[in-house]
């Protein structure tokens, strides 16, 4: 079975400060890992993804994440927070199971950016 | 990028009636579509997975007869909430996986807010 854990349902950072959103997963097979962002009253938007290859992946809006197999982690970072980054962020694991794709989401982390 | 459209974005219906939500992949063929429900202050819950031309696979605890899912074509899946109850009020999101999907990327619709009164 696969699972995703996001530590901290709410994270507050000052504008210009480092953003770090944590995501740990469990999976019996190599997973595909994703980060999605959800702005208020909107759907989900893909930020970045890891499938194979380079473990440090860069996404939109200056975000990046590093896949660390030994730590089963895929933390999301951004060097300098902007007010427009305030949103809810979801980590997701996607596995192919029996020919079907199964998506498991973390519980989400709401990011607040303080001026 | 790939676009998934959901309609309606907001709908209000009376208790006991049925409401249909459409999910369309606008610029790609989707072999698999997923339906999620998002409860307030909680994460997304996968309701069911539908593959074109076959019956949907429902997650444990999701009532098949209440949440009817049809994936009639490679670009359209529908979710029908039957005999709607106020407890069904929620944010419903669909996603679609393209026929050719490098890295298994899936794309999400904007979601549909359902309010049952």
Provide the pLDDT for residue B1.
Answer: 60
- B94-104 in b/e form (b: 16+ CB < 10 A) is bbbbbeebeeb
B109 touching chain A per CB within 8 A:
yes
Once rounded to an integer, what is the mean pLDDT over residues A98-104? 62
- Please tell me whether residue A58 adopts helix, strand or coil conformation: strand
pLDDT of B40 over the 70 cut: no
Quick one: closest CA in A to B33, which residue?
A: A101
Provide the pLDDT for residue A115.
Answer: 95
Inter-residue contact A76 to A24 (CB < 8 Å)? no
Residues 70-99 of B with CB under 8 A from A: 93, 95, 97
Provide the pLDDT for residue B9.
Answer: 87
Q: To the nearest 10°, the Cα dihedral for A47, B26, B116, A45? A: 0
Q: Which residues from B are below 8 Å from A90, CB to CB?
A: 43-44
Distance of alpha carbon A49 from alpha carbon B85, whole angstroms? 37
């Amino acid at each position: 079975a696969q699972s995703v854990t996001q530590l901290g349902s709410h994270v507050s950072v000052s504008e210009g400060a480092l953003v770090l959103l944590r995501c740990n997963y469990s999976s019996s097979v190599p997973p595909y890992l994703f980060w999605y962002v959800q702005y208020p009253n909107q759907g989900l938007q893909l930020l970045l993804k890891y499938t194979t290859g380079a473990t440090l992946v860069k996404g939109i809006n200056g975000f990046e994440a590093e896949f660390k197999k030994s730590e089963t982690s895929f933390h999301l970072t951004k060097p300098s927070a902007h007010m427009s980054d305030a949103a809810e962020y979801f980590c997701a694991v996607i596995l192919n199971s029996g020919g079907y794709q199964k998506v498991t989401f973390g519980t989400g982390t709401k990011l607040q950016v303080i001026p | 990028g790939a676009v998934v459209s959901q309609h309606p974005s907001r709908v209000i219906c009376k208790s006991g009636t049925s409401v249909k939500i459409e999910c369309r992949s606008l610029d790609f063929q989707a072999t698999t579509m997923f339906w999620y429900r998002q409860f307030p202050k909680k994460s997304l819950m996968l309701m069911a997975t539908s593959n074109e031309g076959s019956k949907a696979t429902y997650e444990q605890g999701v009532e098949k007869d209440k949440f009817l899912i049809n994936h009639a074509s490679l670009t359209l899946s529908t979710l029908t909430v039957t005999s709607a109850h106020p407890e069904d009020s929620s944010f419903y999101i669909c996603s679609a996986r393209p026929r050719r999907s490098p890295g298994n990327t899936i794309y999400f619709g904007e979601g549909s807010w359902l309010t049952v009164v």
